[in-house]
Amino acid sequence: MPLLRDAQLTDAFDHAARSYDTLVAANPGYHAHLRRSARRLGLPPDGAGLRVLDLGCGTGASTAALAAVLPDADITAVDASGGMLRRAAARPWARPVRFVHAPVEQLEEAGVDGPFDAVFAAYLLRNATDPDAVLAAARRLLAPHGRLAVHEYALSGRAAHRAVWNAVCGGLVLPVAALLGDGPLYRHLRRSVLCFDTVGALGRRVARAGFERVRVLPLPGWQTGITHTVVARRPMGQGTSEEDPR
């Protein structure tokens, strides 16, 4: 099965929006891992006065993680799927969140203007037709020394971790998705992980996009070797010697 891209993928996410959180709830550690990646941005704990951009927010799980870790931050959440975004906007938010319906490549046209202090991208890059363009957009929107966290299914490259991913998808995710009528999307998601960068290659991709201090960090549980956080920052400028406050 070929990977879904662009309008086909957006339509599949629109269709799956009603049941997406059902499958998320069956994934141990899903929300805790997002919060861990949000903390790995290394921002002040309350987020007061900071602007944070959540790229590919889906039904709002990543946005909720950011709001939990940075309760006083000004959060903008973006997704190309209107169905997913409506569910995200319908959640109860302690502090207002700005939701924007737009592809990442069209953020400026949608009125999303930087600079942001941090960009969070969860489960986004491997679904993008051009992940390098997504990283370039994130870099443009970040302030100097602004932080990036990419939270992604990116396999370690070891056969054992690939086997675990296939077993979880084949034994749990795909049968449930088929019952919910969303088989095509989840077959895409399974294949998208297998076809995407290993985590080492993802770290190098982030560095090639012009970010510095790139670090690849594991996540615990069954996702060990499968899901990772890649954190980095936008450089201050040529020849800067300012130290990272982390």
> Which of 75, 36, 27 has the alpha carbon at shortest distance from 54?
75
Amino acid at 27: N
- Record the pTM: 0.94
Beta strand 98-101 with 227-233 is unpaired
Cα dihedral 222/189/64/17 (nearest 10): -130
The residues near 11 (Cβ < 8 Å, ≥ 6 apart) are none
Tokens standing for residue 39: 């903390």
140-198 pLDDT, tens digit per residue, is 999 999 999 999 999 999 999 999 999 999 999 999 999 999 999 999 999 999 999 99
69-116 pLDDT, tens digit per residue, is 999 999 999 999 999 999 999 999 999 999 999 999 899 999 999 999
191-237 pLDDT, tens digit per residue, is 999 999 999 999 999 999 999 999 999 999 999 999 999 999 999 97
Q: With bands split at pLDDT 50, 70 and 90, how would you rate the model's confidence at 1?
A: low
